[in-house]
Copies of this chain bind each other. A is one copy, B any other.
Amino acid sequence: MHGWIFDICEMIQNHPRLHRDATRIIPPPSPMLCGCCGVVRCMFLHLSADRSSKHLEYSKWKRSPYKHQSNVICSFLRLDLLPAKNGEEVTKHFLQELLNILLAYISKSLNRSSKVLDFHHPHQLKEGLEGFSLELQDQPDNLEQLLVDCQDTLKYGVKTAHPCFFNQLSTGLDIIGLAGEWVTSTANTNIFTYEIAPVFILMEDIIFKKMHSIIGWSEKEGDGIFCPGGTMSNLYSVLLARYHFFPRVKTAGMLALPPLALLTSTHSHFSIKKSAAVLGIGSESVFLVKCDERGKMIPKELESSIRTAKSKGLVPFYVNATAGTTVYGAIDPLNDIADICERFGLWMHVDAAWGGGLLLSKRHRMKLQGIDRASSITWNPHKMMGVPLQCSVILVQKKGLLQECNQLCAEYLFQPDKHYDVSYDTGDKSIQCGRHVDIFKLWLMWKAKGSEGFESQVNHCLENAEYLYYKLKSRKDFQLVFQSQPEHSNVCFWYLPTSVRNMPPGPERDRELHMVAPKIKAKMMEEGMTMIGYQPLGDKVNFFRCVFSNPATQKEDVDFLLDEITRLGRELYS
């Protein structure tokens, strides 16, 4: 070590404001002078708690009074990172320390004894908690502080990978998928020309072919594009259907068209209505078709809705069938709906954002029989397949339609005179122009799991749902929202406090029952050991919806959830 390093070393150890454990110092690759105070900067290390260990950590001066403007010595700033000259070492140490933070977080997320969330109200977080301030300054913070900020951001967030997080359709954290995301963000490119994303564009192509064959489309059929979420995928489907029947709409707009009608079930996702509103068709053009007790569209009702729309002078053109509704997980009778669509000459879309994953399971895929007859399909690998958010796709049976519908041939973006096959430039197929690379994590997961791996993952989730279903069936303090066995991994139920259980059915009981789930959920979030969603639906008052998509979740977690609801319920209603 150079002499000056020892000098600084001593200076640090004698300095009252610096960390006392700073016993080691590593020399920077070359002496660097701080721009503001002119003193040599270097990186401080201290031996970790276990002094025999060779693992060195950055000293954490987190919220110490130590500041850059201190005239003694400066910690590293982001300007010391690459692309700074000799920035490799600092970059390496910074990202290594980040990795350690992320690994600790991942381990904690999967540890059943740790909390799912550490809840705070917005005003509390805004005021700053234990030195974690969200406010931004004009002056830069040092790297140490940034690492602490990363740690705090995770700490006050929600551990969506936790085996007891049942709140959303997307749960869990696939390590391979995560690795895929890290590679993607390091590649930092845009997937709109082959020129700047050659590998990713071909991976999309390969995954599409895989998905087409799983659906049952022939090799001559099928196209697709990755979208920022299922709502966007559904919006694409309406856009494509409209263009397919009325290509004039692209240039002349809706005024050149007759008044249109879309059909979807009362249990379907609100994105069909949203698409109608956005695309200028109007949300009133959406006809909501009645469902059975189980949440499945009734084919006869679809027919009569089509006739109603026609009798009002509207032109029905699009039917959305859902494979896996958000709340009940219901799958519409696809073949019956396909028959009707064929008879009336309508575009059949299947919103399989949630249910698409079942296609990978030999045991469950027949539930989606008829899906190959769809003109377009939404499928979100970020849901049942456990791919990190976001990963959603719109698949289209008719080749070339995406391109025709969306292309504007802006030559300043997509040059036709390039030296490679420009049919691989996908930018003009999309609404978005530049697109985020959502393919790599899915491709890598497929490599890692094989189709078999996805299959066992899906089966596992549905077994958990079945387990919960039978558990609930046998209990008197719980009531299922519908009696039949779940088709997907959604299980819907009420918790019945004794007071409610003793009330006769009727509006008074409903009023009381409606308040149970929100009350329990509020307490659940404050205690933070598990998390599950609730909602009302149609004439059903607030009930819990449990969904399984996290491979980490086991039967013991299902038991824990019920115990926890019971415990909280008893506390609230004793």
Contact = CB atoms under 8 A, between A and B. Distances in A.
Given A181-B181, A424-B122, A434 B188 contact: no
Interface in A72-128: 77-79, 81-83, 88, 91-92, 94-96, 98-99, 102-103, 105-107, 110, 119-123, 125-126
Contacts of A279: 278-280
Which of A163, A178, A434, A451 has most B Cβ within 10 Å? A434
Contacts of A81: 175-176
Contact of A146 (B54, B161, B235, B444): B444
Contact of A105 (B186, B274, B278, B420): B186
Interface in A265-298: 269-271, 273-274, 276-285
A406 B421 CA distance: 40
Contacts of A419: 518, 521-522, 525
A189 interface: yes
A422 to B, nearest CB: 10
Contacts of A390: 434, 436
Given A94-B175, A103-B92, A202 B388 contact: no
A524 to B, nearest CB: 10
A153 interface: yes
B83 A107 contact: no
B154 A444 contact: no
A77 B186 CA distance: 24
A326 B78 CA distance: 30
Interface stretch (A20-28, A224-232, A476-484): A224-232
B121 A421 contact: yes
Given A134-B206, A153-B199, A447-B149, A190 B168 contact: yes
A131 B418 CA distance: 28
Contacts of A120: 198
B418 A518 contact: yes
Given A122-B201, A134-B206, A167-B195, 18 more contacts: A95-B175, A120-B198, A122-B421, A140-B452, A140-B453, A146-B444, A150-B444, A156-B198, A173-B188, A188-B389, A230-B433, A249-B282, A253-B254, A270-B410, A415-B518, A417-B518, A418-B521, A419-B522
Interface in A151-207: 153-154, 156-158, 160-161, 163, 167-168, 170, 172-173, 175-176, 178-183, 185-190, 194-203, 206-207
Contact of A140 (B183, B410, B420, B448): B448
A382 to B, nearest CB: 9
Interface stretch (A300-308, A316-324, A363-371, A532-540): A532-540
A149 B94 CA distance: 25
Nearest to A434: B229
A196 B521 CA distance: 13
A280 B283 contact: no
Nearest to A436: B390
